Homo-oligomer: A and B are copies of this chain.
Amino acid sequence: MRIEDKPTVGIGLIGSGFMGRCHANAFGAVAGIFDLPADPVKSILADATDEIAAAAASALGFSRATSDWQAMVQDDSVDIVAIAAPNVLHEPMALAAIAAGKTVYCEKPLSTTASSALKMTKAAEAADVVTSVGFNFLRNPMIGLARQMISSDEIGEITGFRGRHAENYMASPDAPHSFRTDPRGGGALCDIGSHILSLARHLLGPVAEVNGHSRTIFPDRPVAARSAERRAVVVDDMTHALLRFASGVSGSIEANWAATGRTMDLSFEVTGTKGAIAFTQERMNELLLYSGSGHKAGYQRIEAGPAHPPYGRFCPAPGHQLGFNDLKVIEVAQLVEAHAAHGSCMPDFREAFEVQKTAEAIQSSAQSREWVTVCTAPG
C-alpha cells in the first residue's frame, strides 16, 4: 500500500538540556497525536560543541548536528528555529533567526530583561515572522476551560485573584548558584513567577499596577554543587506582590523557589459574583469550579477528558490524564499550525515581553518600596 506523503516542516533546535529534550520529543510525537498541515522533521540540532550536539542528535533523532547555530538558523532545511539555550543567548539567536525569516519558538523567559525582550518583539513584528514562547502551562485543557468560564460569565463579574508559583528546588541553603541566581534575569520572580504572571494575564488581562516585596532567604549559597566556597546571593528567593489589574480586579501573587513541600504549586483561585475557580498544576488534570446554592453549593472537581479539547487527541476516554510532556506537544501543534497558516501563536514574543515588563515592575517596586504602574490604558 502506498503511504501518503505529507508536507514537512524542518526543525532546527538549539540546546539539548531539559527543555531541549522536551522540544525534540514534542516535535517527534506531535504528528501521531494531531492531524497537522505538515509533519515536523527533526533536521538540525545545535549545541555548545560538536560532540555534545552529535550525541544529542543521535539520542533525540535529528538528522544533523552542529556547534554553529548561526549557520543552522540560515539552513534551508530549517523552517522553525527552536531556542532552548541559556537565557542570555535568546536575544542574539532569535534576532538571527528572525533575520533569516524563520518562525521562532523560544523558551521562556524570552530574554534576561524586558528591554531586550522588546527589541526581539519589534524585530519579529517588523520582519512579520511567527513567534511563540514556551509558557506551556497555558496549553493545559483545564486552563483553557478556566479561561472560557471566566470570559463566558460562568462565574459572574470577577472579584478577586490569588496566584502562586511555589516550588522547592532552592529550599535548601546548600542549593548552589547557577544561571538561576545570575542577576541577569535570575531570581524566583523571573524564573517561575513569570508562569503565574503569564497565567494571570491569560485569565484576567493586563496588570495595571504592582507592589512587590522580595526576600533573599539565604544570604549566600555554594558556588557549585558540594563546594565549600560560598558566594553572596543577590536575587530573590521569594517575592510576594499585590496586583491591580486594568479591569479593576485586585489580588496577589507569590513566587517562591524555597517553598519546602511544593513541587509545582502553580496555582490560582479566581472568585466571581456567581462562582469561583481554583487550580493547581500539582493536580493538572483537575479544575475546581464552585457553583450552586442552597443545600447543593460547593466546589466541583472536574476531571480532564475529551470534553476539554484537545484532550481527546491524546485519549478518547476521561480519567486517563495528560502529563507535563503532553502540554509541550500541544504547544508544538499550535506552533506548527501557526507556522503553516502564517498566523498568530499566543503567547507570542509581545505577550512574553508584557509578562517580563510586569515582572520587572514588581522588582522595581520591591526596591523602591512603592507602587509601580505597569500600564495606564485598560489593556
Q: A residues near B, CB below 8 A?
A: 1-4, 6, 18, 21-22, 24-25, 28-29, 31-33, 35, 50, 53-55, 57-66, 145, 155-156, 159-160, 162, 164, 167, 169, 171-173, 211-213, 215, 217, 237-238, 240-242, 244, 250-252, 254, 256, 258-265, 269, 271-276, 278, 281-284, 289-292, 294-303, 305, 307-308, 314-326, 369-371
Contacts and interface: CB of A to CB of B under 8 A. Distances in A.
16 contacts: A3-B63, A167-B317, A171-B271, A211-B211, A213-B250, A241-B242, A242-B242, A260-B275, A261-B290, A262-B319, A263-B319, A281-B319, A284-B321, A314-B323, A320-B324, A321-B321
Contacts of A162: 164, 240, 254
Contacts of A215: 160, 250
A24 B159 CA distance: 38
B303 A4 contact: no
B259 A1 contact: no
B296 A300 contact: yes
A258 B325 contact: no
Given A295-B307, A301-B301, A303-B298, A318 B273 contact: no
A60 B35 CA distance: 10
Nearest to A313: B21
A160 B259 contact: yes
A265 B319 CA distance: 8
Contacts of A2: 54
Contacts of A169: 317
A164 B164 CA distance: 13
Integer count of this chain's copies in the complex: 4
Given A1-B64, A171-B271, A314-B325, 5 more contacts: A160-B259, A215-B250, A262-B276, A300-B301, A301-B301
Given A32-B21, A321-B324, A323-B321, A50 B260 contact: no
Q: Looking at A276, A325, A369, which has the most chain B CB atoms within 10 Å of its CB?
A: A325
Contacts of A290: 260-261
Contacts of A308: 295
Nearest to A214: B250
A28 B291 CA distance: 38
Contacts of A54: 1-4
Contacts of A259: 160, 269, 271, 276
A62 to B, nearest CB: 7
Contact of A66 (B1, B155, B173, B323): B1
B282 A319 contact: yes
Contact of A302 (B1, B264, B297, B323): B297
Nearest to A213: B242
B282 A303 contact: yes
Nearest to A297: B302
A295 B1 CA distance: 40
Given A25-B29, A319-B282, A3 B65 contact: yes
A145 B318 CA distance: 25
Nearest to A160: B238
A262 to B, nearest CB: 8
A167 B290 CA distance: 13
Q: Looking at A169, A276, A321, which has the most chain B CB atoms within 10 Å of its CB?
A: A321
Given A29-B28, A64-B1, A322 B319 contact: no
